Structure 1
Amino acid sequence: MSKKKVAILQSNYIPWKGYFDMIAAVDEFILYDDMQYTRRDWRNRNKIKTPQGTTWLSVPVKVKGKYHQTIAQTEIDGTNWADQHWKSLSMHYRRAPYFDEIIEMLEPLYKKDYKYLSELNRSLIECVCNYLNIDTKISSSQDYTLIEGKTERLVDLCIQAGGTEYISGPAAKDYVDETVFEKNNIKLTWFEYGKYPEYPQLWGDFVHQVSIVDMLFNCGQNAGKYMNVAARNL
């Protein structure tokens, strides 16, 4: 039986570099957007750097009366946000070395009309993966059958995907039942983001917790050198 590493994580809006390191670490990355949408989280927003410090780019979504909707069911509210985000990226990163290259790559995505947040997130994630030469298969939890139970569902998704090893983010230690993985002969590995080196960054003191676009604008194809992606792609 061939070995296959699987990770299962909710989609985020233009995530930070660690998110893409996790994608690069596995053979299949399942976007777990059947989970309940959570407000004031990373699903629909992320940070960029500006001369005044970090600021949020937030995608407005329809939440009124939709207390139990999943991420996949969450609709984007309006279209003005795309132009606002585009102008913000253009204004704050126009001095970055790789501005022209990255802005050209992102432009088609910000001109497209998305109805659902998941669709937008996936498009941006796949675009960045392609740029960083991350060839991991990206799928959706909607492609699979979902069973009950937090850990049981993760294990079953892993089995359906043909996984032999499950790579989990460290935050999941609070709720994952490791014995369920053991009973199903699935190896459970806790992902460690590691200590990232600083890269050339605009606007004052260095900040790690920002969207991957910050690194792309500043480093271009050299971004992988400041992540674990480069080592895994050797």
Structure 2
Amino acid sequence: MRVAIMQPYFLPYIGYFQLMGQVDCFVVYDNIKYTKKGWINRNRLLRNGEPVTFSLPLAAGSDALDIRDRHLAQDFNRRKLLAQLTEAYRLAPQFPALKAWLEELVLFDENRLFDYLLHSLRQVHSRLALSCELRVSSSVDADHELRGQERVLAICKALGATTYINPTGGVELYEPAAFAAQGIELKFLKSTLPTYPQGPHPHVPALSIIDVLAFNDLPTIQDMLNRGFVFH
């Protein structure tokens, strides 16, 4: 059983889904603190050849709240966000086939931040024909009072993991010996950020998965998911 555990992000870059494609069970944290400076509720699109940030506005809330206890702002204009994405990608070759799907995703009527994010991840998971199970962290019977590596190990043990795969950015956070002591192999995945045509401009890497979907057909994307990374 290969497992990954990640925070939820809004329409994240392709590396997030490459990780999904390499595991049997992908756990999404809901009972973890929301971090302001991360990518939980924002990402980047391509506009006139330049990266531009788009985001989900949040209702005011304590920094102590978990992601599952945060809410989208009451004045969040879903149609404005949809128009922003549409304007950015309306001339992209795959956008006509993407338009109705993207509309359903963005207009999803849910104000809880985690549930809105999880819905978007499930939608991309389905569109990319990924086969891993998506689990919510609080549904796993583990000690969620633990932190860091110990919490990851507890979730892995509860799921019967034999391999834990993390993005390469977590190399400094985890000790292979601690995982090996529990009979779990620790691996790190690094996306090679596949390049692809984005119109007349030079390629801009690591944009939202929407950029990948707008400019590439499914077989091309599946090839990126299967080969566009290395293990450390």
Whether contact under 8 Å (1:49, 1:214) holds in the other structure is: yes
Whether contact under 8 Å (2:29, 2:137) holds in the other structure is: yes
- Correspondence list, 1:109-188, <5 A: 109-144=105-140, 145=142, 146-188=144-186
Whether contact under 8 Å (1:28, 1:138) holds in the other structure is: yes
Q: For residues 176 and 119 of structure 1, do their structure 2 counterparts lie closer, same or farther at Cα, with a shift above 3 Å needed?
A: same
Q: For residues 147 and 179 of structure 1, do their structure 2 counterparts lie closer, same or farther at Cα, with a shift above 3 Å needed?
A: farther
1:40 paired with 2:37, answer yes
SS of residue matched to 2:217:
helix
Equivalent position to 2:214, from 209, 214, 217 = 217
- Correspondence list, 1:65-104, <5 A: 66-104=62-100
CA displacement, residues 156-177 of structure 1 (integer Å, 9 cap, x when unaligned): 1011112111001112222223
1:201 paired with 2:198, answer yes
CA displacement, residues 80-101 of structure 1 (integer Å, 9 cap, x when unaligned): 3311210011111111111121
CA distance in 2, matches of 1:180, 1:120: 35
SS of residue matched to 2:68:
coil
- Alpha-carbon deviation of 1:151? 1.0
Whether contact under 8 Å (2:20, 2:26) holds in the other structure is: yes
Q: CA RMSD in A?
A: 1.9
Unaligned stretches of 5+ in structure 2?
A: none
CA displacement, residues 191-215 of structure 1 (integer Å, 9 cap, x when unaligned): 122x233112136221112000001
CA distance in 2, matches of 1:197, 1:31: 25
Unaligned stretches of 5+ in structure 1?
A: none
CA displacement, residues 41-80 of structure 1 (integer Å, 9 cap, x when unaligned): 200000000016111111011244x011111211111253
4+ residue stretches of structure 1 with deviation over 4 A? none
- Alpha-carbon deviation of 1:124? 1.2
CA distance in 1, matches of 2:211, 2:127: 14
Q: Could you tell me which amino acid in structure 2 is paired with residue 45 of structure 1?
A: R
CA distance in 1, matches of 2:220, 2:213: 6
* Between 145-154 and 45-54, the greater mean CA deviation after superposition: 145-154
Whether contact under 8 Å (2:176, 2:185) holds in the other structure is: no
Whether contact under 8 Å (1:79, 1:113) holds in the other structure is: no
1:5 paired with 2:2, answer yes
